[in-house]
C-alpha cells in the first residue's frame, strides 16, 4: 500500500514540476510561434500609411476641423481633442506640431488586419512664442487594413498613456483570496507533519530537539517564498522595443482584464498559477519524505530484523549444510 502511494506521489510531483516549467516557458514561446506563423507585412507600405495618418493627427492638435473621418473617432483622436480642449480652457493653444514615426513591430492578425506598435516623437510649440517647445515620445498601437499590393490604411489608433498601465483601482479582495489559498496550503503542510509526528520523532538520525513543528515549518516557509513571488511585479516583453517592462503592480492584484493591460493580466495569471502549483508540489514532497520515513521506521521495527533466526541453516564443513537445533 505504501509503495503504491509512493508511486502516485512521485508521479504527481513530476507532473507538477513539468507544469511549472511549461508555464515558465509558455509566455516566451507562444508569441514567437504565433508571430512566425502570421508573417509580416511590407514595412515600407505600413510606414507610409502611418506617416500619412500621423499628419492628420498632428493637424487635429491645431485645427478643430481636422479629422481622419473615422466614425466613431479613433481613440487617439479622442485623446488629442480632450487635451486640446483642456488647453483652450486655460487660454493655451498649440501653434505648430511636427512628429516623427518609428515603426517597432508590424504583424498580421487572424482577421487579416495588421497590428502595429510604434513610437511617435512629437514636438509642439505653444502659443505665439517659439521658445515654448515640448517634445514627447508617445507609444501608439495601430490597426491597419489593406494589403501589400494595394497599400494600407489606419483604421484604429490608440495612444498608450501611463495611466493605462499603472495605478488602477486596488483589487484588495483578489490579493486576499490568493493569499488565503497560499495560507491554506501552508497550514496543510503543518497539519501533515502533525499527522505523521510519531514517525518524525522516531527518525533514527534526528536529534532530540527535532519536532513535527520544526519539520512542517520548513515546508511552510518554502510555501511562503512561493507566495512572495506573487507579491512582486509581473514582467512582460515590451512591444515597443525596450526589452522587458514591469506591470507596476503585484501579480496577485493584476488578474482582471477590466483594469490592466492584456499582456500583464495573462502573465500575472500564469505566474500565480505556477506559484500555486509550486506550493502544492512542496506539500507533496513533504508527504513523500514522510512516506519514506514511515517505510524506514517500519523496517527497523520488524521483529528479527537485527538478529539471525535460531532455526536457520548454517553452512558446515565441506560445503555441507548443518541445521542447528535450539537447546542443549
Same domain, yes or no, for 108 and 257?
no
Q: Are residues 289 and 184 in the same domain?
A: yes
| pLDDT score, position 230 | 84
Instruction: Evaluate whether residue 113 is within a structural domain.
Output: yes
Are 9 and 84 part of one and the same domain?
A: no
CA-wise closest residue to 249 among 274, 270, 275, 267: 267
Say whether both 178 and 200 belong to one domain.
Answer: yes
147 & 52 share domain: yes
| Cβ atoms within 10 Å of 12's Cβ, excluding its own | 15
Closest residue by Cα to residue 111 from 68, 156, 144, 160: 144
Q: Which domain holds residue 112?
A: 40-160
Cα(first)–Cα(last) distance of the chain, in Å?
43
**Measured CA angle at 155 (ends 154, 161), to 5 deg:** 85
**pLDDT tens digit at each of 328 positions of the chain:** 556 888 898 999 999 999 998 888 877 676 666 556 667 789 899 999 999 999 999 999 988 899 999 989 999 999 999 988 888 888 888 888 999 998 888 888 888 899 888 889 999 887 766 666 788 888 888 999 999 999 999 999 988 765 444 444 445 677 788 889 999 999 999 988 888 776 655 555 454 444 667 778 889 999 999 998 888 777 666 554 545 555 656 676 666 655 556 667 778 888 889 999 999 999 999 888 888 877 766 555 545 544 444 444 444 444 444 444 444 3
3-state SS, 182-236, equals HHHHHHHHHHHHHHCHHHHHCCCCCCCCCCHHHHHHHHHHHHHHHHHHHHCEEEE
Dist CA 294 CA 121 (whole Å)? 68
Same domain, 124 and 208: no
Dihedral angle, C-alpha 287, 289, 294, 297, nearest 10 °: -160
CATH code: domain of residue 111? 3.10.450
Report how far residue 151's alpha carbon sits from residue 45's, in angstroms, rounded to the nearest whole number: 6
Quote the pTM value.
0.53
If you count them, how many residues does the chain have? 328
| End residue of a domain, out of 99, 126, 160 | 160
The answer to whether residues 147 and 176 belong to one domain is no
256 occurs within a structural domain = yes
Q: Is residue 137 part of a domain?
A: yes
Asked if 214 and 97 sit in the same domain, the reply is no
Looking at the domain assignment, is residue 316 inside a domain?
no
What's residue 236's pLDDT? 61
d(CA 14, CA 217): 23
> Does residue 51 sit within a domain?
yes
Q: Is residue 314 part of a domain?
A: no
> What is the pLDDT, as a whole number, of residue 53?
96
Q: Rounded to whole angstroms, what are the CA distances from 112 to 108, 118, 144, 173?
A: 6, 19, 9, 40
Contact 137, 121 (CB under 8 A): yes
Phi and psi at residue 155, in whole multiples of 5°? Answer: -110, -15
Per-residue pLDDT, 125:
86
Q: Which of 160, 189, 216 is the last residue of a domain?
A: 160
Residue that is last in its domain, among 160, 183, 200: 160
Domain shared by 13 and 111, yes or no: no
The answer to whether residue 317 sits within a structural domain is no
Q: Are 170 and 156 contained in the same domain?
A: no
Of 66, 79, 102, nearest in space to 159 by CA: 79
Dist CA 230 CA 235 (whole Å): 12
d(C-alpha 188, C-alpha 171), whole Å: 27
* Peptide bond connecting 42 to the previous residue in cis, omega within 30 degrees of 0: no
- In this prediction, residue 136 carries a pLDDT of 85
- On whether both 115 and 220 belong to a single domain, the answer is no
Number of domains in the chain: 2
Domain shared by 91 and 198, yes or no:
no
Query: So what's the pLDDT on residue 302?
Result: 45
pLDDT at 92: 85
- As a whole number of angstroms, the distance between CA 102 and CA 242 comes to 13
Query: Within a domain: residue 67?
Result: yes
| 199 close to 212: Cβ distance less than 8 angstroms | no
Give the phi and the psi of residue 293 in degrees, each rounded to 5.
-65, -40
Amino acid at each position: 500500500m505504501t509503495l503504491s502511494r509512493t508511486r502516485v506521489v512521485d508521479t504527481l510531483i513530476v507532473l507538477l514540476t513539468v507544469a511549472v516549467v511549461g508555464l515558465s516557458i509558455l509566455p516566451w514561446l507562444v508569441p514567437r510561434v504565433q508571430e512566425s506563423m502570421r508573417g509580416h507585412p511590407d514595412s515600407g507600405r505600413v510606414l507610409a500609411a502611418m506617416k500619412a495618418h500621423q499628419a492628420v493627427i498632428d493637424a487635429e492638435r491645431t485645427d478643430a476641423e481636422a479629422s481622419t473621418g473615422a466614425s466613431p473617432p479613433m481613440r487617439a483622436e479622442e485623446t488629442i481633442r480632450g487635451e486640446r480642449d483642456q488647453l483652450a480652457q486655460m487660454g493655451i493653444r498649440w501653434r505648430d506640431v511636427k512628429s516623427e514615426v518609428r515603426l517597432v513591430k508590424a504583424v498580421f492578425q487572424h482577421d487579416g488586419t495588421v497590428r502595429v506598435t510604434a513610437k511617435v516623437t512629437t514636438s509642439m510649440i505653444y502659443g505665439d512664442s517659439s521658445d515654448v517647445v515640448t517634445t514627447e515620445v508617445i507609444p501608439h498601437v495601430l490597426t491597419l487594413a489593406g494589403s501589400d499590393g494595394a497599400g494600407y490604411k489606419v483604421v484604429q489608433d490608440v495612444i498608450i498613456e501611463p495611466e493605462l498601465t499603472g495605478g488602477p483601482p486596488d483589487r484588495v479582495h483578489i490579493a486576499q483570496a490568493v493569499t488565503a489559498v497560499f495560507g491554506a496550503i501552508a497550514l496543510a503542510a503543518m497539519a501533515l507533519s502533525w499527522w505523521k509526528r510519531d514517525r518524525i520523532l522516531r527518525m533514527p538520525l534526528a536529534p532530540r530537539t527535532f519536532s513535527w513543528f520544526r519539520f512542517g515549518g520548513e515546508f511552510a516557509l518554502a510555501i511562503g517564498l512561493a507566495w512572495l513571488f506573487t507579491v512582486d511585479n509581473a514582467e512582460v516583453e515590451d512591444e515597443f522595443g525596450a526589452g522587458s517592462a514591469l506591470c507596476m503592480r503585484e501579480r496577485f492584484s493584476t488578474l482582471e482584464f477590466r483594469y490592466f493591460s492584456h499582456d500583464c493580466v495573462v502573465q500575472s495569471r500564469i505566474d500565480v498559477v505556477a506559484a500555486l502549483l509550486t506550493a502544492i508540489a512542496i506539500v507533496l514532497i513533504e508527504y513523500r519524505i514522510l512516506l519514506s520515513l514511515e517505510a524506514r521506521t517500519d523496517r527497523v521495527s520488524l521483529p528479527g530484523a537485527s538478529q539471525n533466526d535460531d532455526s536457520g541453516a548454517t553452512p558446515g564443513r565441506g560445503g555441507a549444510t548443518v541445521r542447528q537445533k535450539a537447546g542443549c
